[in-house]
Amino acid sequence: ANANIVKNVMPYEIIGGNPGKVLKKRFDSDVIDLLLKLKWWDLPIDIIKDIQIYLCAQPNKESLEVLVSKYSITTDVKLPPIKP
């Protein structure tokens, strides 16, 4: 609370103190790389609902590799526009 963060925070880092400093990473580097590759936040909501059990569990390399191979969004994939 009331921490001053004056630099970018890398994904899945835990920051604490004032000024804010990196305390640790939430996951190991392999898991972070897979989470970033999966880009679950860009997936359609119906897919997120289907895989939420995996997203809410402690991530492990094996399950994330399966999800990435099945659901990762590449730059070639065009998602349909969102209807207002």
pLDDT value for 79: 52
Question: Is the distance from CB of 23 to CB of 9 less than 8 angstroms?
Answer: no
Query: In degrees, to the nearest 5, what angle opens at C-alpha 55 toward C-alphas 23 and 68?
Result: 100
pLDDT value for 75: 47
pLDDT value for 84: 60
Sign of CA dihedral 6, 32, 53, 74: positive
Grouped pLDDT means (10 residues each) for the chain, 84 residues: 78 88 93 94 92 91 92 61 61
Quote the pTM value. 0.74
